[in-house]
């Protein structure tokens, strides 16, 4: 049963990736100008434009270019960055992307490792003491943080910690040889920004799910039996709430993938998301496609984990009639 669901998901994921690649291709093509025009900019002449377009294969019809790309990708070849080729740096996309993926993973995993335990703890804390001042403080601040867009949080943090206090660098500028403290310092601001936004959601959902379970008949039974509240939550309620919570965590991590786009841009962090933005600006389609595929794939995988978590944790979904 599980295997069938798994296989079904896998097929849907491949289709999703394909559809996304078509959408990205069409979207980027709709933007004014192609890579040759952008590279030459204000100084383009009909001659030089035609020459560069031919050199970069931009003189072929859009659908032809798409299928050529698809064929290459199917054989595992991401190709060359067109902007790079135009500027005389023939670097394979794989080489460009590799360090960027590492940087983005470094950032997101740091966020996940810190944000998830903290958020779970605060969520549970709020659920254990519903209606108290503690609960209301947590709820009030998380609701506020959910409502504030991430770029505003980022700007605010920079103002406080970098410009006024001067404790942290305002940009996450990596030299590439940072270790330990230096790395933590460089990553502190973007991590903090993402953490605030991701954990706010998880805190809310953890609290809601646990409280939801707390109002179910078996918990009522446990209360009547005289089981201490702490034990009810940790032993009975939390275990039953784990499915939905994992679901929320996975969804939020997927959201994190989108959040890094803004945060990397604001902190000039050399990650995959910033690479994608730069690539869109010069209409470097193969590079945009490659980045988008990676983002999409990670999103699909996380959503898949979220689904699996809810299926596995719920016997009714596990054994459908």
- Interface with other proteins, residue 222, by CB under 8 A: no
Q: Applying CB under 8 A, which of residues 48, 60, 137, 144 lies at the interface with other proteins?
A: 48
DSSP reduced 3-state for 136: helix
Contact 142, 204 (CB under 8 A): yes
Is residue 195 at the binding interface for other proteins, with CB under 8 A as the rule? no
- Tokens 């299928």 belong to 67
How many CB atoms lie under 10 A from the CB of residue 163? 9
Which token pair is 31?
A: 């933007």
Distance of closest approach, residue 167 Cβ to other proteins, in angstroms: 10
One of 197, 249, 261, 287 touching other proteins (CB under 8 A): 287
**Does the protein bind other proteins through residue 313 (CB under 8 A)?**
no
Please state the closest distance from residue 41 (CB atom) to other proteins, in A.
5
SS3 at position 168: coil
Q: Where are the alpha helices (DSSP H) in 31-132?
A: 35-40, 46-55, 62-74, 82-86, 93-128
Any contact of residue 84 with other proteins (CB under 8 A)? yes
177 binds other proteins (CB under 8 A): no
Spatial separation of the C-alpha atoms in residues 61 and 123, rounded to whole Å? 54
Under the binding rule (CB under 8 A), the answer on residue 171 touching other proteins is: yes
Query: Which one among 220, 268, 314, 318 touches other proteins, defined by CB under 8 A?
Result: 268
**Stretch touching other proteins by CB under 8 A, among 1-9, 65-73, 251-259, 261-269:** 261-269
The answer to whether residue 29 forms part of the interface with other proteins (CB under 8 A) is no
d(CA 175, CA 318): 49
Instruction: Please say which residue, 219 or 266, places its beta carbon nearer to other proteins.
Output: 266
What's the rounded Cα separation, in Å, for the pair 253 and 299?
Answer: 8
Pull the structure tokens for residue 39: 């590279």
Query: In whole angstroms, how close is the CB of 147 to other proteins at the nearest point?
Result: 22
Buried/exposed 208-225: b ≥16 CB within 10 Å, e otherwise: bbbbebbeeeebeebeee
Instruction: Determine, following the binding rule CB under 8 A, whether residue 135 of this chain makes contact with other proteins.
Output: no
Q: Which residue, 56 or 233, has its beta carbon nearer to other proteins?
A: 56
Q: Does 156 bind other proteins (CB under 8 A)?
A: no
Q: How far is CA 22 from each of CA 15, 26, 62, 279, 288, rounded to the nearest angstrom?
A: 11, 6, 11, 17, 12
Compute the half-sphere exposure of residue 242: CA atoms within 13 Å on the CB side of its CA. Answer: 10
Q: Segment contacting other proteins (CB under 8 A): 163-171, 203-211, 216-224, 240-248?
A: 163-171
Closer to other proteins by CB, 176 or 217: give it.
176
Shorter beta-carbon distance to other proteins: residue 163 or 224? 163
Binding site for other proteins (CB under 8 A): 31-34, 37-48, 51-52, 81, 83-84, 86-89, 91, 96, 99, 155, 158-159, 162-163, 166, 169-171, 173, 175-176, 265-268, 270, 274-275, 277-279, 281-284, 287
């Amino acid at each position: 049963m599980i295997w069938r669901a798994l296989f079904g998901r896998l097929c849907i994921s491949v289709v999703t990736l394909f559809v996304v690649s078509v959408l990205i291709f069409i979207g980027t093509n709709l933007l004014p100008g192609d890579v040759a025009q952008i590279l030459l900019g204000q100084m383009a002449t009909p001659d030089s434009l035609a020459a560069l377009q031919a050199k970069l294969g931009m003189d072929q019809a859009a659908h032809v270019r798409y299928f050529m790309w698809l064929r290459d990708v199917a054989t595992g070849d991401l190709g060359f960055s067109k902007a790079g080729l135009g500027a005389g740096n023939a670097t394979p996309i794989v080489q460009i992307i590799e360090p960027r993926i590492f940087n983005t993973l470094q950032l997101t995993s740091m966020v996940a490792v810190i944000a998830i335990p903290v958020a779970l703890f605060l969520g549970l804390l709020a659920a254990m003491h519903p209606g108290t001042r503690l609960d209301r403080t947590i709820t009030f601040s998380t609701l506020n943080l959910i409502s504030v867009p991430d770029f505003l949080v980022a700007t605010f943090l920079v103002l406080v910690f970098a410009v006024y206090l001067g404790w942290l660098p305002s940009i996450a500028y990596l030299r590439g040889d940072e270790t330990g403290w230096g790395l933590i310092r460089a990553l502190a601001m973007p991590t903090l920004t993402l953490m605030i936004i991701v954990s706010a959601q998880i805190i809310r959902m953890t609290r809601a799910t646990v409280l939801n379970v707390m109002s179910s008949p078996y918990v009522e039974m446990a209360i009547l039996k005289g089981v201490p509240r702490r034990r009810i939550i940790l032993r009975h309620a939390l275990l039953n709430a784990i499915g939905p919570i994992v679901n929320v965590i996975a969804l939020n991590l997927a959201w994190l993938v989108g959040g890094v786009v803004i945060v990397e841009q604001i902190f000039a962090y050399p990650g995959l998301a910033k690479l994608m933005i730069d690539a869109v600006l010069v209409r470097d389609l193969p590079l945009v496609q490659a980045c988008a595929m990676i983002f999409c794939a990670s999103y699909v995988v996380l959503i898949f984990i979220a689904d699996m978590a809810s299926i596995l944790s719920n016997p009714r979904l596990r054994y459908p009639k």
